[in-house]
Amino acid sequence: MKRLRRTKIVATLGPASNTPEMVENLHRLGADVFRINMSHLDRGQLAAQVAMIREVEARVHRSITVLVDLQGPKLRLGRFANGAAELEQGAHFTLDDNDAPGDASRVHLPHPEILSALEPGHTILIDDGKLRLEVEEVAPGHRAKAVVRVGGKVSDRKGVSLPDTTLPLAAMTDKDRADLEAAIEIGVDWIALSFVQRPEDIAEVKKVARGRAQVLAKLEKPQALARLDEIMDVSDAIMVARGDLGVEMPLEKVPGLQKRITRNARRAGKPVIVATQMLESMITAPVPTRAEVSDVATAVYEGADAVMLSAESAAGQYPQEAVAQMNRIAEEVERDNLYWTIIKAQQAEPEATGSDAIAAAANGIAATLGISTIAAWTFSGATALRLARERPDSTILALTPKREAARRINLAWGIHAVVTRDASDVDDMTFRACKFAVRSGLARVGERIIVIAGVPFGTPGATNMIRIAFITEEHAAAA
């Protein structure tokens, strides 16, 4: 199944897409990665969902990536005496550790760590930013007195966001740790971590994962952006979680941050997903708004590895139409000459490593000779990811003996992953690269491909060879 685009599509599973038939339809329409959101899934159902995806994978004969998104801490208010209260602008309001029902003057905040971390001048956002409070005084006995800057109705258990406050909270709750262990045991490919504030949050997950799954940092808090480079260094991939960013930061700052994060991730060679509200109106409508189409196109023009659907595919009325629409947008953008002008203008200098030198050289040769496929023999997937960092105007055919590696790198830009036994010698390497290029519909008889690999074969991290090969009738017959 040859994709006509390099940008990947992530589709979230949910009630609207919870059958093998729907998963297969979404994959054939363009979904490369399926996200399982543990905020809305019982742990007992996780194994069944992953098994369903693996069943589809076996049927379509192509690697499909499974991403499990951990819920993270949920900060919420307590309850009100009448179920709700009206907070007037300019009024004073107290958050405290008293579990008595609240009213228009106070409410219980069942998170003592928040009350300990708040300082005068800090902003408190309630109900996705609909109400905004400013802390005036932090009083003894775990009480924060605030003034209402933006008022309105607030009801039981509404969420709390703290853009100015670094919380002494781990990114993983007890639920997340149990979900993480279950996901790794089942064999998922990627773990997405919410509520990231510091690189240590990612390191904690990686310590548990021990290489059995890759770890993706969701950037949704201002505290994470202050330590972006450190978080990017320790993460395997990045998600621009624009929904939460747009709550905790001024909305007008989010587009610029999206560009900055996307470019930094590409420079680091880490896959980056742009997420949240991309085709939001398609939850209830069969076609998106023009602004949404432009939003998806912008992410593709920026060089994002993947764009993501959330409620559109999980709970919307038109999950198939949403995936098909996103697929068409990405294909159209990548046909635009301006797309390649932008992509090449963002080209990062190769790092001083053998893998980067080979990747850059392969990209240059492909551009000079007009070669449409670069076949990379890779054990861990690292070689294919370094090639993806170059953003070649060629499909990256990643050949790996590890099915886990194929599934993981399937998230990255431009990679078509195939699982096969490792090459035994140079002739075998070349022959089977040509065979799989034909079988995958990436090359035809008479065309050339570039083959890169590491000698001795089977040695991770030893990429050191480039070869130009011609596709012959023998390769086509073997395919």
How far is it, in rounded angstroms, from Cα 275 to Cα 35?
Answer: 11
SS3 of residue 106 by DSSP: strand
CA angle 363, 368, 374 (to 5 degrees): 40
Single-letter code of the amino acid located at 382? A
**Selected catalytic residue, list 7, 262, 276, 378:** 276
Give the HSE-up count for residue 69: Cα atoms under 13 Å, Cβ half-sphere. 24
* Residue 35 designated active-site: yes
**DSSP letter string, 273-328:** EEESSSSGGGGT-SS--HHHHHHHHHHHHTT-SEEEESHHHHT-S-HHHHHHHHHH
Report how far apart the first and last C-alpha atoms of the chain are (Å, whole number).
14
Going by their DSSP bridges, the two strands 92-96 and 143-150 should be labelled as: antiparallel
Task: State how far the alpha carbon of 469 is from the alpha carbons of 125, 374, 437, 453, 475, in Å.
Answer: 60, 10, 11, 13, 11
Q: Which of 54, 74, 76, 130 is catalytic?
A: 76
> How long a stretch of residues is the chain?
479
Select which of 3, 5, 35, 62 is catalytic: 35
Q: Give the Cα separation of 240 and 244 in Å (integer).
A: 9
Active site residue 263: no
Catalytic residue among 3, 62, 198, 218: 218
Question: Which residues are marked as active site?
Answer: 35, 76, 218, 276
